[in-house]
Amino acid sequence: MKKFLIVGLGNIGEKYDETRHNIGFKIVDAFAKEHGGTFETEKLGDVAKVRVKGKTVIVLKPNTYMNLSGKAVKYWMQKENILTENTLIITDDLNIDFGTIRIKAKGSAGGHNGLKDIQDKLNSGTYPRFRFGVGADYRKGNQVDFVLGTWNNEEQSALIERIPTSVKAIASFINAGLSNTMNEFNGK
């Protein structure tokens, strides 16, 4: 039986809840809720276990803070014996227009410290990743303030539609595979 690990990256703590950097948490919260899962605090993160068309899915929100996410990802992959190709990392991306999805099988960290730490801990850049565009509407040198800033009203309204699309993309990854999911959802 195939097992999947779906990881939403973000920072723990109420002050980060509605920030752009926490879109990974927001998306996996919606995914777990859609599939009847509830999160419980376990080692290195909050975890929900759900079933999707007969497949076991571990949904993880690391509690290690964004830049140290690799330890939690590696731990849960090993604990649950989940293959790298059945692991999906969901994160924000400044280099993609707001709300646009980009799913890839591998790649560089692209300046994202959470992905860099995962790459370091897994000793590989070959793992599926789901980047959710947060745009780049900030002045040069202010990117940290931008990603740790809260959504504006227009973005909040758009998320009402973008998050369900993201949840469908995760289900597609589990049920239809990476290649089909990339074909259907990239650029949406």
Provide the residue-wise pLDDT of the chain in tens; the chain has 188 residues: 689 999 999 999 999 999 999 999 999 999 999 999 999 999 999 999 999 999 999 999 999 989 999 999 999 999 999 999 999 999 999 999 999 999 999 988 888 989 999 999 999 999 999 999 999 888 777 888 899 999 999 999 999 999 999 999 999 999 999 999 999 999 88
**What pLDDT does residue 1 have?**
64
Q: Which CA distances in Å does 73 have to 37, 58, 87, 174? A: 19, 11, 9, 18
**What pLDDT does residue 80 have?**
97
Task: Assign 140 to helix, strand or coil.
Answer: coil
- Rounded to whole angstroms, the Cα distance separating 67 from 72 reads 11
**What pLDDT does residue 168 have?**
98
Residue 138 marked ligand-binding: no
Q: Which CA distances in Å does 60 have to 77, 142, 146, 161, 177? A: 10, 29, 25, 23, 20
Residue 65 marked ligand-binding: yes
Residue ranges of the domains in the chain? Answer: 3-185
pTM, 2 dp: 0.95
Both tokens of 126, joined, read 């070959």
State yes or no: is 112 an active-site residue: no
**What pLDDT does residue 139 have?**
76
Domain spanning 3-185, CATH architecture = 3-Layer(aba) Sandwich (3.40)
Active-site annotation holder among 6, 10, 20, 21: 21
